[in-house]
Amino acid sequence: MDIRAEILDLKLRVDDLETATERVKESKEQEELLREVIARAKKLQTEMAALRIELAEARTGLGEEVAAVGTEVEGVRRAVSQPPARPGGGPDDESDVRAEIAVEFAVIRTEIEHEFNFLRSEVMDLAIKLDRLMTDKD
């Protein structure tokens, strides 16, 4: 064989080896990226599970708060609908008591509404975070 042909053949073999080496490097990089993606996916799944638990607890707490509000509202309604049993009390005394109860009821209603809005906001934030995690996972 001609020396030039042998040199050309050796150059082609070296090029083939370099190409194969680059493919192996790329394959290793892809494996590393895949491992990282899998690790992140597992972490996201764990965080999503924690968020789901937190969301369930918030829903349970919200249900309990709503039930407590219903109980308090019912108690206020009963107190407002029953006339006060005071001996010697006149119509002015009754209207004063009703006015006090109405004011207290308004204050309680405002506090409950504020708490409900806060809880609703927290639940919405959790839902948004959960949605983001779900889209990041995809």
Maximum alpha-carbon separation in the chain: 132
Span 91-134, pLDDT tens digits: 566 677 778 888 888 888 888 888 888 888 888 888 888 878 77
Give the separation between CA 23 and CA 12, rounded to whole angstroms: 16
For residues 90 and 26, the model is more confident at 26
The pLDDT assigned to 101 comes to 83
Residue-number span of the structural domain to which 112 is assigned:
3-137
Span 65-85, pLDDT tens digits: 888 888 888 888 887 777 655
**Assessment of whether the complete model's pTM goes beyond 0.75:** no
Count of structural domains within the chain: 1
For residues 133 and 55, the model is more confident at 55
